[in-house]
Structure 1
């Protein structure tokens, strides 16, 4: 405990549905449990309040801020409010994402642009405004919540999501190398099959049949070498580790949190 004492964590995409725990909510709570002050940001006030309630229940010092992270002016303002409240930003956590089902033929250009803006531009803008705060102090950690889909072909028809996450991995590596001498680390976390409200709500790439539209947890669990889905707390554990001094020599890396499924998919692809 206390690995992040006196740190300030800016968590973009911190909200959660009341029906479950999102990756953003779990990471915000986990940062707080390790002693960080949490500045939780989401464009959905209702979802944000779910996370703020969880932080309060844990006795975590936290502030909620409603902002659309695709809007540059709102991002700049959010960073300013956080710094004004807590003095700095030690941890930037980018956890915003969406997807549209389909390949290049099925999805529209508007769908493509929307997913790129939500998944990738939000991370770019957050870095744009948080990095000067970090480099001025020669200290900071950035974590991008990417996806296994950006590295391996799972056969899913979410081409915009996969492409945006692959780009996020490269963004993380570029930010890491460009700012290493300034004391800022940056890494991407790649969740695999994680039981989040978002995953349960979208048409599944691991449905029992091609006609199924709901997330099929038993089938998904069978695909994971460890035999079960991951939870948002698994993602949060990785985030806390990377944000802590335990990971002080780790930057520019991609960390899979996937129960081993990425290796089996890659092997199957190579065999094919």
Structure 2
């Protein structure tokens, strides 16, 4: 059982693409058996095939994080087919564009439902098992949009700010049960979700817009899904055994250093 996660079983939501796919693959490389969950049946089967093709252990689950029964089924499948559950990565999310006075209530509710309620339902489904075994690591994917004001994404920012607050609450409440909860807040990462958001915002000018965003990052580039995946490995592993309640920004320095000037 080599690697930082050898012998552990992990549930990763949103594993069919983007950050979730990168996290699932990196977890498998580091020795975890991974329950890959996504509502995209093709995407989640593809990542499972890729993991197995590289010698890793993975099982696919097709489900929606906004469904209580789907979340419960994902946990049950991990226990039944992979023999346990040690790490929960609540990562599934969707974009949400539009100024506050322009977005519809339906659009607001959809973004909050997936990005915040879906995180809660995923974690709630796993907690009875984690509490029962007296150990576990929960990793929540938020965003720097939940920490600083960014234009044109009020529902997304509200949801991700809620994920940050939920992570701190869970960390405090379940520390006596041996469960650690931490939050990753990525900056601009080149994923299908981010590209879709930039395409909605900038149309044919997407490449120029992404280039401008990259030059504003103190470290001089946009992030990759692997940047976030490596942070998720650390927070899911025993290497972070005395770390809980933290918000780890993976953003090239934007939040704490500010954008490059001049």
| TM-score calculated relative to the size of structure 1 | 0.90
| Alignment partner, residue 119 of structure 1 | 115
| Alignment partner, residue 258 of structure 1 | 251
Q: Is the 8 A contact 1:153 1:266 kept in 2?
A: no
| Alignment partner, residue 171 of structure 1 | 166
Give 3-state SS (helix, strand or coil) of 2:198's partner. coil
Shift of 1:57: 2.8
Give 3-state SS (helix, strand or coil) of 2:188's partner. coil
Shift of 1:98: 1.2
| Alignment partner, residue 203 of structure 1 | 198
Number of equivalences: 259
Given the alignment of the two structures, is residue 28 of structure 1 paired with residue 21 of structure 2, yes or no?
A: no
Q: How does 1:96-175 map to 2 (within 5 A)?
A: 96-154=92-150, 156-175=151-170
More helix by share: 2
| Alignment partner, residue 219 of structure 2 | 226
Pick aligned residue for 2:183 from 180, 188, 191: 188
2-side partners of 1:151 and 1:111: how far apart?
A: 22
1-side partners of 2:241 and 2:55: how far apart?
A: 27
1-side partners of 2:161 and 2:131: how far apart?
A: 26
Pick aligned residue for 2:242 from 235, 241, 249: 249
Shift of 1:42: 0.4
2-side partners of 1:245 and 1:142: how far apart?
A: 12
| Alignment partner, residue 214 of structure 1 | 206
Cα RMSD after superposing both structures: 1.9
Q: Is the 8 A contact 2:96 2:197 kept in 1?
A: no
Shift of 1:263: 2.5
| Alignment partner, residue 56 of structure 1 | 52
Give 3-state SS (helix, strand or coil) of 2:162's partner. helix
2-side partners of 1:223 and 1:163: how far apart?
A: 24
| Alignment partner, residue 88 of structure 2 | 92
Give 3-state SS (helix, strand or coil) of 1:97's partner. coil
**Ranges in structure 2 where 5+ consecutive residues have no aligned partner:** none
2-side partners of 1:205 and 1:186: how far apart?
A: 33
Given the alignment of the two structures, is residue 42 of structure 1 paired with residue 34 of structure 2, yes or no?
A: no
Given the alignment of the two structures, is residue 72 of structure 1 paired with residue 68 of structure 2, yes or no?
A: yes
